[in-house]
Structure 1
Amino acid sequence: MNRPEDSTAAPTRSQEPSPTPDSANPPTGAHRYAPMTTNWKVFLGAALGVVAISLWALLAPDSASSVLGTVVAWVSQNFGWFYILTGTAVVVFIIVVAASRQGKIRLGPDHSRPQFPLFSWAAMLFAAGIGVDLMFYSVLEPVTQYYGPAQGNGETAEAARQAVVWTLFHYGLTGWGMYALMGLAFGYFAYRFNLPLSIRSALYPIIGKRIKGAAGDAVDISALLGTVFGVATSLGIGVVQINYGLQFLFDVPQSVGVQAGLIAVSVLMAIASAVSGVDKGIRRLSELNIYLALALLLYVLVFGDTDFLMNGLVMNLGDYLSRFPGMTLDAMAFDHPTDWMNTWTLFFWAWWVAWSPFVGLFLARISRGRTIRQFVVGTLTIPFAFILIWISIFGNSALNLIYEQKNTAFGDSIMNTPEQAFYTLLGQYPGATAAAAVATFTGLLFYVTSADSGALVMSNFASKIEDPNQDGPKWMRIFWAAATGLLTLAMLLIGGIATLQSATIVFGLPFAIVLYLVMFGLWKALRVEGADMESREAAFAGVRAANRAASIEPSSQTRSWRQRLSRSVSYPGRRSATRYVRTVVAPALDEVGEALRAEGVDAVVEHGVDFATTIPYVTLTERMDGERDFTYQVYPVAWPTPGYLLSPARTEDNYYRLEPFALTGSRGYDVYGYTKEQLIHDVLDNHERHIEFIRISGPTVEEAGSTEIIGSSMATTDWSMDFTAPLDVPVADHENTENSATKEGNQ
């Protein structure tokens, strides 16, 4: 699937070049991926698991309910602390990563830029990560916590104050931290190093090529099962609430039959959205969803007690920030509120864990080009800012009616019929019917945006996809949308929302262990990135200065002033760039390659053509067994010609920079105009920097002698994963363009 054009990205290059006319010289600057195929082991393993559990629930509901209850009690008693610790560890890890020097690394090559504008990105990450359950719990949980708090007495001012804070805690930084962790892992390994967009790629620094075997399949199956149950829980909540909304509006009865019909309709809508792709379907629905949610928010704020609600919003933010450190590690060892913990914190943490691979992969799909710091900060703050306002406004509105206005009937109604909570609150304001209609439609959109993005991501999990911009086959998206609907119906039949909560706690536990492996894999990978950054600084500072007398210095520094002046006013067109590559770049890199081979080095030089511009490029690769390969590729990058240079005599609107690319993207400068000797020195500059990177990223003497170190860095493992083509192939990053191809006739 093609990505939408990014108007902020300066280079105008083609994402998917046409087939090469020269089969003997396939392009290395273009992404060259193997065809997408189905991973039948993962697909059948997860599909059979979902179908078997669904049939068990449908055919033997009492047995399924009893077994789930027993397992949940065991997990809560023995692993409640583990869920609490995991949530805290994840938040600390991603904040440290974002604040570190590695935070400026991009989820993609160094020159890549975001695909989507900020609002579209924020709308999609919010709508995918939060479903109709936010409407459900924004009223239900604060009221429930007010009557039965985890600690202290209920129906007091302190209970009311804590009620919204606990709700914010369950929807706050911890859950979004889990999403950020998985999204960071997916995006980093897929877009920075062109590994498959799957969880197993994040484990490569730990287990190496075994990720292609049973271990990798087991991780993906675990992620798929957790995702299915996490999404089914949200959809089950949504169906129950939408059913009541229809009863409120049209007197439609509340029954399993109506809910089954709603599931069928919603699945069909989700399928239509999922098969249309991210830009056409999910993006538009997400944006519409945000507008409608904002309308509901303003409706309650304006017609409610506005002053009280604004005071409550500020107070809730302060309480959340001040109490979060204590709440995040509070396992309530002396209180033993087992039922409370199962119903709230453990369920929510398991729910977030179950959703993390699904939402994380989706976030990675829409976050290519953003830095790690931008991604983490945006994921933690943008959705939470909306959640804070939403929960504070709706939760405090309900508490105001109960605590301040003594409307006990309102509170009793919510406690007796939880699915009616949101609509019961809307019924307290003028124009309730219209507001309920908007709420029902918004809930339906929340349902669809969760189901369609879930089906899209699950199809990716069960496919062998090496192109990070490609999605799983449409037939598989249809299957997973239908399978999720079937599981939702089965769980509703054997006990409703409580059963879905129990299943989520059980199936979230295995993947909670995977989160630790992902953190460890990311830490090892980012350690290598840190070494790469350190080697760059050493090369530009120490190495360059030390070798200046020997003329091994950056080529830009050795050019004469006349060369620099000529280059500063030169904007080469296609013909000039082509001539330069053929007469200077190709001979220079061929000569370096020949010299390296004479020294016994495994070096290869490949020649290709960028098919959007027909300008040739050249790639020099030194294959380093057991280390990351050295790559130096000179590739044409189109830029708009400055307007003051355009004239009737000039037919080209673009000029071309010939930029050197490494594995992680463009080095950011132009070598056009270098002499052959100067270009060779530039290759050697980059080669020396790569050698310095290997030295820094390798194990220390102490680490090398320790038997406890399992590969001290990713540079000590076989980085060229052999999933498809070697990593010397997808070097240059190709953004979409409408200029390079369409204006080719004028050039």
Structure 2
Amino acid sequence: MPIKPPDDERPESARPERQEPGASVGKTHPPLERSRFGGTQHRHERHEEDEAPVSRSDLSRGPQELLEDRAARINWRVLLVSSLVILAFSVWAILIPDDARATMKSAVDWIATNLGWYYVLTMSLVTGFVLWVAFSKEGSVRLGPDHSRPQYKLTTWVAMLFAAGVGIDMLFYSVTGPVVQYLSPPAGQGGTAEAMQDAVVWTMFHYGIAGWAMYALLGMAMGYFAYRWGMPLSIRAALYPLLGKRVRGSLGDGISIIALVGTVFGVATSMGIGVVLLSVGFSLIFGLEQGIALQIALVIGAVLLTIAATTSGVDRGIRWISELNLWSAVAMMLYILVTGQTAFLLNALVENIGQFLVTLPARTLQTFAYEPGGAQWMGGWTLFFWAFWLAWGPFVGVFLARISRGRTLREFVIAAITAPVLCDFIIVSLFGNSALFQVLQGNTSFAELAVHSPERGWYALLGMFPGAMFLTGLATLSGLLFYLTSANSGAMVMSNFSASIPDPSQDGPKWLRIFWAVLTAVLAVAMLLAGGVTTMEYATLIFALPVTIIAFLVMASFYKVLRMERAEREGQVLHKRSIAPIGGHLPERSWKQRLEQLRAFPSLRQVNQFLERTVRPALDDVATEFRNQGYDVERGGMTNAKDIEEPMLRVSMDAFRAFHYQVAIVEAPVPMFSGRMSRETDVYYRLEVFTQTGSGGYDLMGLTRQQIIDDVLDRYEAHLAFLTVSSETDAASVLTPRVAPQNQWSAVPRDAGDVQDLDGGQK
């Protein structure tokens, strides 16, 4: 399951990649007093408290509107309400277990009969949506500014995705799932060749693309808004384009509570399944008595280890456990493959994958509406797994986002639905086909054990391999590491969901992680007392239902913001004269300037002098002329980490996205092949032009004042082309009615009480 991200995910201010400058501008601006372009004039009244963003300029207000201040703080309403819901359920399940079990069974039966289609449709639409994102033109958009690049190399990143794809619950179902589907398939007769062909594939389907599509949806949405727009790494930030500033109030808190409660139940279910499985292993290895007492002891032990890891603050230790987790699982798989029926297992693996791919579309929409007892089968299998993925979606989504900064949406989605899924397939196929081989040999006692007591059936299968005690110990160690990794990561993510943390690389306070570790353990114990794994399945299916609403809202929100990305790209294409082949605007230089730039690697002092002598006067000249012609201009600056003010020019466009031109100092390594005779330093400094979505990718050093003025005007003309396309592609919706003009960005003077500034506030 997800591992704790590394120490070197530093705060934004410490990274070489710059967050977009426009996100920090929050001043008010008067409207334009005249239009250069003529056409119908419009009057707009915008209400900050009700309005959702309708353009990318509105999105730049997100960091200010989502956060009351830039310091991390506890969201007490989310924390208290979520805790009370979980605690109330736990007390109910502990004090009245029979009533809790019967009530949840009735609720699950109703959901399976009446809402099975809804769960199936939700997961199908999520899968289709993330595939559309990956293969659309917007798939090239990055989880970060346009100039950002991945922090981890591809092999490391994929390995971390593998680690996120393996959980102890998969070990539990990898044996019982195929055996049950072979003996009692959802359709047709059991024990037949047709049932055998589908037995493992059903479990692969339940651990396949649909679930990881849900993870990818929430991961890319949260990562996009966190790294590209500087918002918190949270569900409510992903819904900002739909709900606007309201996500910071009661509505946003309600969404966070739903996500948090669903996550806690998902993690508690995995922990409960884990201790049920591990209790058998500890009983076999140490001769302990199996039962609820041992299971509760394991839960308490996991909580103590989680608290120790949390309070120590040694993130590398947690990462070491996660890596050991992965290698122990690989060793276990290789041992089973080499000492088991190697040829049969490899042949079956290939056939299983082929059968999965061929039947995937039909299985995705399968509801067994025409099969007697189809609803009951769906509730116990497909719907439970879909609910499990939904409940874990925010949890794993945060982890995937944390390790994927700088990746494109296309890379993110394709990797998420291939690498971990392949890992899942290998585990399920090797365990499942090993179990089916025993059933085909007539081992009916093993078959009955696998169906009626999955945890004992799993260890019974391990006992049939050579060196059974070694394999049992290795499997128990692997399962324990999976279990501890999930507990540690779960406590960290839950603390983030119940706090407001501006920096995506930071986590909630230690005491809050300890609190959630203890409360999740209490919930796991409550469900064990109320009926064990079956009750956990019931609870997951019930509490994941509200999370489906979040999935649909996130899809609508992300679709809206991707249309904004498309509008900007098409607007840039219209302005071909100032677009370079690599996508940046390149000012014209003389041949002497170009030659000089090839060997110039200026120091910080030199670029600061150039700012003062050339760049600032050029921007002052442009700002003065803009004002003389009636434009509303802000000419200011932003102080960087080196205490140097970086000049900025901003032209208000009324209800549309403002034109933003900022010159920022960027540190870069001196290339080894430079024309210098010697290297006095390892780095030099560039003066790059930034807009609201990142760097233009070129350096202003060495240009004349006139050349910089020309560059500003080229950029401004390109911005107007973008607004043209943005206006044509904007559309109203029920949640976000159109408030901006459709074809023009002209404005007229208005009364003082009727004027709306760029950032949405009445003036």
TM-score range, shorter chain: 0.7 to 0.9
- SS at 2:575 equivalent: helix
| Alignment-mate amino acid for residue 465 of structure 2 | Y
Q: CA RMSD in A?
A: 3.0
Counterparts of 1:73-88 in structure 2, within 5 Å, are: 73-88=109-124
Aligned residue number for residue 512 of structure 1: 548
Query: C-alpha distance in 1, partners of 2:715/2:735?
Result: 33
CA distance 1:169–1:155, change in 2 (3 Å): same
Q: Which moved more, 1:647-656 or 1:557-566?
A: 647-656
Q: 2:513 aligns with which of 454, 466, 477?
A: 477
Aligned residue number for residue 331 of structure 2: 295
Q: 1:13 aligns with which of 13, 16, 25?
A: 16
CA deviation profile, 1:580-637 (whole Å, cap 9, x unmatched): 111111222233333334444443233345435x665222233445433332221122
CA distance 1:555–1:521, change in 2 (3 Å): closer
Query: C-alpha distance in 2, partners of 1:75/1:123?
Result: 37
Aligned residue number for residue 393 of structure 1: 430
Q: Check if 1:379 corresponds to 2:416.
A: yes
Aligned residue number for residue 46 of structure 2: none
Q: 1:659·1:671 contact (CA, 8 Å) conserved in 2?
A: yes
CA distance 1:670–1:343, change in 2 (3 Å): same
CA deviation profile, 1:488-539 (whole Å, cap 9, x unmatched): 0001001001001001110111111211111010000000001111112112
User: TM-score, length-normalised on structure 1?
Assistant: 0.87
CA deviation profile, 1:154-178 (whole Å, cap 9, x unmatched): 1122211101000000000000000
Could you tell me the percent identity over the aligned residues? Answer: 47
Counterparts of 1:184-263 in structure 2, within 5 Å, are: 184-263=220-299
| Alignment-mate amino acid for residue 239 of structure 2 | L
CA distance 1:2–1:585, change in 2 (3 Å): farther
Query: C-alpha distance in 2, partners of 1:3/1:111?
Result: 22
Q: Check if 1:450 corresponds to 2:453.
A: no
CA distance 1:248–1:646, change in 2 (3 Å): farther
Counterparts of 1:531-570 in structure 2, within 5 Å, are: 531-541=567-577, 556-570=586-600
| Alignment-mate amino acid for residue 491 of structure 1 | M
Unaligned regions of 5+ residues in structure 2, if any? Answer: 20-59, 744-757
- SS at 2:407 equivalent: coil
Aligned residue number for residue 439 of structure 1: 475
Give the deviation of 1:121 after TM superposition: 3.0
Aligned residue number for residue 169 of structure 1: 205
Give the deviation of 1:647 after TM superposition: 7.5
Q: 2:587·2:711 contact (CA, 8 Å) conserved in 1?
A: no
Aligned residue number for residue 25 of structure 1: none
- SS at 2:637 equivalent: strand
Q: 2:589·2:703 contact (CA, 8 Å) conserved in 1?
A: yes
Q: 1:698 aligns with which of 710, 727, 734?
A: 727
Counterparts of 1:101-112 in structure 2, within 5 Å, are: 101-112=137-148
Aligned residue number for residue 345 of structure 1: 382
Q: 1:226·1:507 contact (CA, 8 Å) conserved in 2?
A: yes
Q: Check if 1:575 corresponds to 2:605.
A: yes
Give the deviation of 1:698 after TM superposition: 2.4
CA deviation profile, 1:272-329 (whole Å, cap 9, x unmatched): 4455679524433222211110000000000011111110011001000000000000
Query: C-alpha distance in 1, partners of 2:716/2:722?
Result: 10
Give the deviation of 1:84 after TM superposition: 0.5
Give the deviation of 1:411 after TM superposition: 1.3
| Alignment-mate amino acid for residue 140 of structure 2 | K
Unaligned regions of 5+ residues in structure 1, if any? Answer: 17-27, 546-552, 717-725, 729-747
Give the deviation of 1:486 after TM superposition: 0.5
Q: Check if 1:665 corresponds to 2:694.
A: yes
| Alignment-mate amino acid for residue 75 of structure 1 | I
Q: 2:81 aligns with which of 42, 45, 56?
A: 45
| Alignment-mate amino acid for residue 629 of structure 1 | A
Q: 2:232·2:502 contact (CA, 8 Å) conserved in 1?
A: yes
Query: C-alpha distance in 2, partners of 1:656/1:120?
Result: 30
The aligned length equals 692
Query: C-alpha distance in 2, partners of 1:343/1:274?
Result: 35
CA distance 1:435–1:2, change in 2 (3 Å): closer
Q: 1:459·1:477 contact (CA, 8 Å) conserved in 2?
A: yes
- SS at 2:190 equivalent: coil
Query: C-alpha distance in 2, partners of 1:540/1:278?
Result: 52
| Alignment-mate amino acid for residue 306 of structure 1 | T
- SS at 1:558 equivalent: coil
Q: Check if 1:656 corresponds to 2:685.
A: yes
Q: 1:634 aligns with which of 663, 685, 693?
A: 663
Aligned residue number for residue 593 of structure 1: 623
Q: 1:698·1:712 contact (CA, 8 Å) conserved in 2?
A: no
Give the deviation of 1:146 after TM superposition: 1.0
Aligned residue number for residue 751 of structure 2: none
CA distance 1:188–1:224, change in 2 (3 Å): same
Counterparts of 1:306-325 in structure 2, within 5 Å, are: 306-325=342-361
Aligned residue number for residue 465 of structure 1: 501
Q: 1:238·1:443 contact (CA, 8 Å) conserved in 2?
A: yes
Q: Check if 1:688 corresponds to 2:717.
A: yes
| Alignment-mate amino acid for residue 349 of structure 1 | W
Give the deviation of 1:709 after TM superposition: 6.7
User: TM-score, length-normalised on structure 2?
Assistant: 0.85
Q: 2:116·2:375 contact (CA, 8 Å) conserved in 1?
A: no
Q: 2:78·2:257 contact (CA, 8 Å) conserved in 1?
A: yes
